[in-house]
Homo-oligomer: A and B are copies of this chain.
Amino acid sequence: MKTTADDPAPDAKPTRLRALPSWLITHIAVPAHRLASEAFAATGAARYHYALLAALEEFGPSSQAALGRRCSIDRSYVVGAVNELVEKGYVERVQDAADRRRNTVTITAAGVRQLERLDSALATTQDALLGPLSPAEREQLRGLLERVLDHQAGQ
């Protein structure tokens, strides 16, 4: 007897939710975060290491505050993450002579190598995340997401 809706495809999602970009995004964010964390852990990296190394490699030596702004990371976390990176020899932290409030953080050669290791670990991750999407579709998705993020950053 079919009094309740328990029988058919017990985990079918309501079409209203599937039609809602914000719902799709917040739910995809969960595996996206998990996959990235696993890739980091497997490469001996932690939470914000990749973003920090990427910013240092691209923009050169920076203060911790600037790093935080560039990577959308709170300055409180930058402290700890830079500590870890220093300990592993991936960055150097020296007090800025011109502005002695600041620490100038610089990526090392070992840091660049670690960044490249993380690059390839993350490439695998993106495959697992995007699954059946073709390269063209992935780029399409990436471009659309980039525009959405830019719009939000401009708010």
Chain A residues with CB under 8 Å of chain B are 1, 3-6, 8, 10-29, 31-33, 35-36, 50-51, 54-55, 57-63, 66, 69-72, 96, 98, 102, 104, 119, 122, 125-126, 129-133, 137-138, 140-142, 144-149, 151-153, 155
Nearest opposing residue in chain B for A65, CB measure = B6
Nearest opposing residue in chain B for A118, CB measure = B16
Distance to closest chain B CB from A102 (angstroms) = 8
Q: Which of A6, A54, A57, A142 has the largest count of B CB atoms less than 10 A from its CB?
A: A6
In the bound complex, CA of A21 to CA of B123 (Å): 10
The answer to whether A1 touches B126, judged by C-beta atoms less than 8 angstroms apart, is no
Number of copies: 2
The answer to whether A12 touches B145, judged by C-beta atoms less than 8 angstroms apart, is no
- With A17-B54, A32-B25, A54-B16 known as contacts, the answer to whether A96 contacts B145 (CB < 8 A) is no
Distance to closest chain B CB from A19 (angstroms) = 7
Nearest opposing residue in chain B for A2, CB measure = B60
Nearest opposing residue in chain B for A39, CB measure = B22
Distance to closest chain B CB from A32 (angstroms) = 4
Nearest opposing residue in chain B for A153, CB measure = B11
- With A36-B22, A96-B4 known as contacts, the answer to whether A29 contacts B29 (CB < 8 A) is yes
